[in-house]
Amino acid sequence: KAGVTQTPRYLIKTRGQQVTLSCSPISGHRSVSWYQQTPGQGLQFLFEYFSETQRNKGNFPGRFSGRQFSNSRSEMNVSTLELGDSALYLCASSYRQGMNTEAFFGQGTRLTVV
């Protein structure tokens, strides 16, 4: 079956702009989590959505937000971009909610803020 699809793969934005990233989970998976990966901080959890509701949230400012649609597709939005937001953003889907389950990751969206 098709894996987790993230679009776009690469993105360049200017400071102060906003950006929306998209994630299509594996068919049948209802949980979508988002992560930020940077060389300095490693992989950091942003938030998790399950059945269109945010269930868990990491320690990121309110500029980072997300939503999930009825078909389980999810979008992540970052407003007022800062240089430090440059990172690989990974989305992971799983059948059940929570970390106690195998998650399948997409290839990520590489965001560069200039």
Contact 90, 3 (CB under 8 A): no
Closest CB to other proteins among residues 67, 110: 110
Instruction: Please tell me whether residue 102 binds other proteins under the rule CB under 8 A.
Output: yes
Instruction: Please tell me whether residue 45 binds other proteins under the rule CB under 8 A.
Output: yes
Instruction: Please tell me whether residue 4 binds other proteins under the rule CB under 8 A.
Output: yes
Closest CB to other proteins among residues 19, 50: 50
Instruction: Please tell me whether residue 60 binds other proteins under the rule CB under 8 A.
Output: no
Closest CB to other proteins among residues 81, 92: 92
Strand partners for 88 = 37, 110
Instruction: Please tell me whether residue 12 binds other proteins under the rule CB under 8 A.
Output: no
Could you list the residues that contact other proteins (CB under 8 A)?
A: 4, 33, 35, 42-45, 48, 55-58, 90, 92, 98-100, 102-108
